[in-house]
Amino acid sequence: MLFVLRFRSGEPEPLDLDAVREVLGPYAVGGGADPLEGLLVRTADGREVEVDVDRLCVGVARFPPGHFSDLLAALVDRLGASVLPCDRPALLRAEADRRHLPGAAREEAVVVPMTGRAVESFLGGS
Domain ranges, ordered by start, for the chain: 2-123
Question: What does the alpha-carbon distance between residue 113 and residue 31 come to, in Å, rounded to a whole number?
Answer: 30
pTM for the whole structure? 0.91
For residue 92, the cross-strand partners are 111
Exposure b/e, 37-69, CB count within 10 A at least 16 = b: ebbebebeeeeebebbbeeebbbbeebeeebbb
Among 16-20, 59-63, 95-99, 106-110, the least confident range: 59-63
What pLDDT, on the 0 to 100 scale, is given for residue 117?
Answer: 94
Mean predicted confidence (pLDDT) in 5-9: 95
Mean predicted confidence (pLDDT) in 36-65: 90
Helix, strand or coil for residue 59?
A: strand
* E-only strand ranges, 39-109: 39-42, 48-53, 57-60, 82-85, 91-92
